Structure 1
Amino acid sequence: MKLTEQQIENLYKFTRQHYVYHYDVQTELVDHLANDIEEIWLETPKLSFEQARDKSFKKFGVFGFMDVVEKKERQMTKKYLKLVFKFIKEWFGLPKIVLTMVLFYGFYQLQKMEYAYNMYMGIFVALMILQILFMIVKGQKLKRKQKETGKKWMFEQIISVNGMANVFVMLFYFFDFLFTSSKDFLMMGDIRKFLSAFLITFVIILGHITLVVIPKKANQLLLETYPEFKMV
């Protein structure tokens, strides 16, 4: 026996009631539940829809759908990070590699000047502030869009907010590694100067990719992930 449209809608409501808020994750769970309910009916056809649904739900264990949600979030976050490193890899190709080398050399030479510490700190702080502001603005836009469409997509959430939050954490650790004091910074050896120049160059590229490149390609990336996204 096949489920009716009303029963399918009931399953969507059921997933929302159990703290699954993203439409793509809801759809995966609804497909799984629907198939499982039909199999349950083959074995025990006298069960009502609600009884078969609850029996299927119990198979998810004590935490219900939470394990599925967490697994999906890890999967989508990993997908986002792969995109970031893909664009980083592309950046190190011609002709951008020349610009990168010039940038790296400039920061390396900058460390010989007495105001280098302030310059480095200013760049890191500016990037952190931009990340925070961008997350706030994108988060507000995303909420308005979700309210209008009535649908939340996990990968869109990660592209707009969560992914940048992960990058923000990376920036924080870079910042903590480099900036102990202005005196220590100016007395760094050649190896650490090389490393700090590399890190500041990498952070600028990373900021450009997360704040400019990926947001510009967001719709394309979402369509590749969710073919049905174009209907939203």
Structure 2
Amino acid sequence: MKDDKIKRISDEEVEQLYAFTRKHFVEYYDLQTELVDHLANAIEEKWQQQPDLSFDDALKQEFKKFGVFGFMDVVEKRQLALTKKYRKLLWTYFREYFKLPKILLTIALTVLVAKSIQHIHAVIAPVLLFSILIFSLFRFFVLNHRYRRKVKQTGYRWMLEEIIFRCGSIPVFIFIPYQVIECVYDKEYSAVGQWILAAGVVLFAIYQYIILYVIINRAEVHLKQTYPEYKVLKQ
């Protein structure tokens, strides 16, 4: 009978906690949910010791424990963890191109590019790189538009989903082609150098393909594994 007298967080108060996290710059639903669960449990524990403590006062006391930066440290740690998860996924898919049967495709493409450089002109390399760059940038902006539209329709933002769809690879887009082109025009490449250049072009193409197609196409699977509630709320 004693447990029946313990105050519990109401549905209305849960909504207030969600609003509180949004007010303090937590934009992602997955992180909001974790913080709401944490705050709700902490408040109920306080009520066991201080039943007359108001909801607002209990919330203020608990929020003070997060320090002067509030939830910012929590958001940053989660972002670092999920970025690490994303990179692990990227590396997992990238390694598949060094195993049968995909390694045969990788070798064939490298041979094709190398022969083009040898028998046509070294300018083939920057042309290919710029073609990949332009196509990748187009795909990148299409994905960002699709993501923004989805967020507007659903009202939910998930941190891992944002990392996947925003890719974070624009610096790579720009830096790699620039460096390769600089090398092509500054040096007379040996036969070995031409093969290395060809391999670089192919690996760059594979890298962009994995970021912009493979992971995107499998994003929902990874999101459901990370967030069990994603399947229910994704619509």
CA contact (8 A) 2:140 2:212 kept: no
C-alpha change, 1:11 and 1:188, in structure 2 (3 Å) is: same
Which SS does the other structure have where 1:111 is aligned?
helix
Which SS does the other structure have where 2:229 is aligned?
helix
CA contact (8 A) 1:104 1:198 kept: yes
* Matching residue of 1:49: 55
Q: How does the TM-score come out when normalised to structure 2?
A: 0.88
Which SS does the other structure have where 2:182 is aligned?
coil
CA–CA separation in structure 2 for the residues paired with 1:207 and 1:45: 57
CA–CA separation in structure 2 for the residues paired with 1:109 and 1:61: 61
CA–CA separation in structure 2 for the residues paired with 1:30 and 1:134: 36
Corresponding position: 1:3 with 2:4: no
Aligned-residue offset at 1:114: 5.3
CA–CA separation in structure 2 for the residues paired with 1:106 and 1:172: 24
C-alpha change, 1:48 and 1:211, in structure 2 (3 Å) is: same
CA–CA separation in structure 2 for the residues paired with 1:94 and 1:178: 28
Q: Which has the higher mean CA deviation after the structures are superposed, 124-133 or 55-64?
A: 124-133
Could you report, residue by residue, the CA deviation over 1:154-203 in whole angstroms, capped at 9, with x for unpaired residues?
Answer: 11111111x2x23x323433223322164424x03455434322221111
CA–CA separation in structure 2 for the residues paired with 1:97 and 1:146: 38
Runs of 5+ consecutive residues of structure 2 not aligned to the other structure: 1-6
* Matching residue of 2:71: 65
CA contact (8 A) 1:124 1:171 kept: no
* Matching residue of 2:126: 121
RMSD: 1.9
Corresponding position: 1:177 with 2:183: no
For residues 14-93 of structure 1, the aligned pairs below 5 Å read 14-93=20-99
CA contact (8 A) 1:171 1:203 kept: no
Corresponding position: 1:146 with 2:151: yes
Could you report, residue by residue, the CA deviation over 1:92-143 in whole angstroms, capped at 9, with x for unpaired residues?
Answer: 22111111111122223333245222x2212222222233222222222222
* Matching residue of 1:219: 220
What's the % identity of the aligned pairs?
38
